[in-house]
C-alpha cells in the first residue's frame, strides 16, 4: 500500500461526510472490504479508543492509521481527517448566505440521513458480522450491543462507563465459557 493512497482514503472519508464518526462507513468499506488492510474487530477497537481519548470523536481514525501503518499511518490519518473541515473557512461568507436556502437544507439533510443509515449498517455489522442474516448475532453479543446502545442513547454518560460495564461483562462471560 502506498502512503499517498492511504492518505487519500482518509481525506475522502472526511471530505464527503459530516462529523467525526461520519467517516466510519467509508473507512470500514475501503480499509476492510476493498483493501483488506485491517479487520472489523480492529476498527471496533479504534472506535473504543477514540471514545476514551480526549478531543473530537473523529480521532478514532488516527488509531486506525497507527494500527495499519504505524506512526506514519497515524500522521497520514490525522492530516487526511483534519484538512477537509478547514475548507469551510474561505467558504464561510457563502455558507452564511446560502445555509437557509431550502435546497441546501435538503441536501445537507440527505447527507445526514444517508450517513446515519451507513453508520447503522456498520454498527449492526459489528454485532452481527453476517449482516442482516436470518441467523442473527449470538444472544450474548446482542445483549452486549443492547447494553452499549442503552447506556449511550441518552448521551449523558461518559463513554468509559458503557465500555467499562461491557468489558466486565466480557470477563464474566469468558469465565463462564459463554
Residues between 88 and 117 that touch another protein (CB under 8 A): 88-89, 92, 95-96, 99, 102-117
Q: How far apart are CA 66 and CA 46, in angstroms?
A: 10
| Contact mark string toward another protein, 31..50, x via CB under 8 A | --x-------x--xxxxxxx
Query: What angle is formed at CA 40 by the lines to CA 177 and CA 130, rounded to 5 degrees?
Result: 75
Q: How far apart are CA 22 and CA 112, in angstroms?
A: 9
Q: How many residues bind another protein (CB under 8 A)?
A: 111
Min dist. Cβ of residue 155 to another protein (A):
7
Q: Does 1 help bind another protein (rule: CB under 8 A)?
A: no
Q: Which is nearer to another protein, 2 or 174 (CB)?
A: 174
The phi, psi pair for 141, rounded to 5°, reads -60, -40
Among the listed residues 6, 7, 17, 31, the single contact to another protein using CB under 8 A: 17
The sign of the dihedral angle between the CA atoms of 149, 134, 35, 16 is negative
Amino acid at each position: 500500500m502506498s502512503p499517498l493512497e492511504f492518505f487519500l482514503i482518509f481525506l475522502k472519508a472526511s471530505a464527503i461526510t459530516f462529523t467525526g464518526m461520519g467517516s466510519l462507513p467509508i473507512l470500514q468499506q475501503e480499509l476492510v472490504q476493498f483493501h483488506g488492510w485491517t479487520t472489523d474487530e480492529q476498527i471496533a477497537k479504534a472506535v473504543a479508543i477514540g471514545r476514551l481519548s480526549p478531543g473530537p470523536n473523529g480521532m478514532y481514525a488516527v488509531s486506525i492509521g497507527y494500527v495499519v501503518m504505524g506512526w506514519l499511518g497515524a500522521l497520514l490519518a490525522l492530516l487526511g481527517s483534519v484538512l477537509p473541515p478547514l475548507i469551510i473557512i474561505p467558504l464561510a461568507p457563502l455558507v452564511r448566505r446560502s445555509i437557509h436556502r431550502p435546497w441546501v437544507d435538503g441536501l445537507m439533510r440527505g447527507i445526514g440521513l444517508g450517513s446515519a443509515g451507513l453508520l447503522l449498517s456498520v454498527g449492526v455489522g459489528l454485532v452481527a458480522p453476517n449482516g442482516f442474516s436470518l441467523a442473527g448475532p449470538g444472544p450474548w453479543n446482542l445483549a452486549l450491543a443492547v447494553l452499549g446502545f442503552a447506556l449511550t442513547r441518552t448521551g449523558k454518560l461518559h463513554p468509559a462507563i458503557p465500555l467499562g460495564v461491557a468489558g466486565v461483562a466480557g470477563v464474566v462471560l469468558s469465565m463462564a465459557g459463554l
